A and B are shown apart, each in its own frame.
Chain A
């Protein structure tokens, strides 16, 4: 009986080791998370490689530390007259540590009167958030910040 239990203990340990190895394979074989390069690719797909301004006109409102990655406030305001001749066309939000880098994109018009929005996003872990604004004249502005995440928001 004692012997039998020992056998059980070993096989359990072996099973755990196997599970650990399997986990390692998935972690290295298939990238589970996007990275900075994937995010850069997505940004390039939008800008077409055009120069991107430093985003001095973009004001971000994100927490420095998010306790719950399931709902992290992301808000921005962009200083723009929002006239028919000079307005922000679209704003794209990216996160470089989520399974996919896209978070959301917004389109504005001169009827908006101002450019800004506020929403809530999921963050899997501590990562960089990029807000990319496309102006109606074809130029781009980008602002970036880091959010520290205590508990990730990917639903296990």
Chain B
């Protein structure tokens, strides 16, 4: 089967297209999802453009290995999570202030248009949940990914995934109530 025909066939079946061009199309379609996920994973707005480009490069590199029978977004989130973790570690190479997250997660024009203060508050509260647990919480409670899929994508035992979700929910609730007691909600 010719390459072009194969690409059309997979698209017709509702599966992500193959090849570099297919990878680019999926990236284009899922760009908003990736940007939102990276923000929720604590990537500062100023670094968003670079980090999402890194995600694209990884995505492109692994595109051939992606199992098209599995849902796309958990796979994309897994890449975004790893790139965001790496970015966070790399940032420690430079001199940063202690208030890195709190400052950079402040309201930006796009966020303000989206949900204003409440979103800024949620991002600040999420920033107080450790990244590994935050990733599970965001996948489950925002993206509505089943726990088995999350565990498979993150390479975790199912029990560990549940444990992380449990802790993350507690941490998020208490972070939000702390912020609300501070008169910010």
On whether the two chains bind one another, the answer is no
Task: Write the residues of chain A forming the contact surface with B, with a CB cutoff of 8 angstroms.
Answer: none
Task: Write the residues of chain B forming the contact surface with A, with a CB cutoff of 8 angstroms.
Answer: none
